[in-house]
Amino acid sequence: MAYSLGDSQNSLTRLVIINLTVFISIALCKAYFFFFYQDTAQIEQIFRQQILQWFALPGQMGQWLYRPWTLLSAPFTNVGVWMILGNMLWLWSFGFIFQDLSGSRKIVAVYLYGGLAGGLAYGITSLLLGEAAGTGVFYGAGPSVMAIAIATTMLSPYYRLFPQLMGGFPLWILTVVYFLLSIATRPLEQPLSYIPLLAGATMGFLFMQLIRMGYDLSEWISRVFDWANTLFDPDKPKNRKPSIRDTQFYKATRKPYDKKPKLTQDRIDALLDKIHHHGIDALTQEEKDFLERASQSNP
């Protein structure tokens, strides 16, 4: 199923928009400091202390209790033009295929699970390394994109890319290239730089394995998003118990009571006298029906 860019069901577009919105917001905050400081190093330090810490996941797991929302905000926080550009290009490349093959209800879950796995791996590694880990923070869409890349490859490893060019090449080759580039461009002596990526890849693999076993980890996330989308929708269906009035009353196909005046000779004489003086057009419909019933009962 193909999704257009403005399709309300295009979850991939929503992920890209959220990433770009966070990136632009952070970039504007950083640009603000240039009006007050001239030293680039000082600006970078102030930016990390006053702005970035509210979006990035702290390296010390003990600080997570004070900023728990960073578990969700960190995968959407990209600092620097090259980081946002690279992550969004790879996200769109793999996400487009994944959404086209599996629909729009799973890609958000894979993205969030990948980011959560990357954040947890970062925190555990920092805890194990102790003082050697320093006081860094975790941010970036890398682990989330890696999870989508692995999940997409497991879904259809031989999906043909650019088939019009000599038959194209299978998807798994692109995934290998992406994986090697992501790991090779990071210093191997710093495990915190690449372990979150490996955690994201592992999560993408586990997600698809559980799908094959009949366990869909995206269902509860989809229900939460459905609830959020309809929370302020005035046209949403009302999930309420039908009232007694709706179920017991006003369901009959005929009138519950049909008023029929009693046939009496005095009433007939009065209506005949009215016709004599004013004509038959002076009678109401009820009076005409009364006379018709009287004529049928007295042939």
Q: The pTM is what?
A: 0.73
The pLDDT tens digits along the chain (299 residues) read 555 444 556 889 999 999 999 999 999 988 888 888 878 888 888 888 888 889 999 888 778 888 899 999 999 999 989 999 999 999 999 999 999 888 888 999 999 999 999 999 999 998 888 755 556 889 999 999 999 999 999 999 998 888 877 778 899 999 999 999 999 888 887 888 889 999 999 999 999 999 999 888 888 887 887 776 676 665 665 555 555 555 555 555 555 555 555 656 667 777 677 776 666 666 777 777 766 777 766 55
Name every residue whose Cβ is closer than 8 Å to that of residue 144 and which is 6 or more positions away in sequence. 75, 91, 110, 111, 112, 114, 115, 118, 200
**Residues 83, 226 within the same domain:** yes
Are residues 166 and 275 located together in one domain of the fold? no
Q: Are residues 73 and 219 in the same domain?
A: yes
Instruction: Please enumerate in sequence order all residues whose Cβ is within 8 A of that of 124, keeping only pairs 6 or more positions apart, or say none.
Output: 61
- Structural domain includes residue 208: yes
Q: Is 70 a member of any domain? A: yes
Specify the pLDDT at position 20.
Answer: 96
Query: What are the tens digits of pLDDT across the range 24-41?
Result: 999 998 888 888 887 888
Cα–Cα nearest to 113, from 158, 159, 145, 156: 145
- Cα R_g (the chain), whole angstroms: 35
Q: What is the pLDDT of residue 128?
A: 86
**Is there a single domain that holds both residue 82 and residue 193?**
yes
- Domain for residue 249, yes or no? no
Instruction: Specify the pLDDT at position 161.
Output: 87
- 236: in domain: no
- Residue 252 belongs to some domain of the structure: no
Residue 43 resides in a domain: yes
Host domain of residue 136: 11-230
Tokens of 40: 């680039």
Asked whether residue 45 falls in the same domain as residue 153, the answer is yes
Residue 253 maps to a domain: no
- 190 and 271 in one domain? no
Whether 4 is in a domain gets the answer: no
Q: How many domains does the chain have?
A: 2
Domain shared by 197 and 282, yes or no? no
Q: Are residues 152 and 283 in the same domain?
A: no
Please report the pLDDT score of residue 296 as a whole number: 67
Task: Check whether residue 120 and residue 197 sit in a common domain.
Answer: yes
pLDDT at 6: 46
- CATH number of the domain enclosing 113: 1.20.1540.10
Q: Can you give the pLDDT at residue 88?
A: 96
CA angle 25, 26, 31 (to 5 degrees): 100
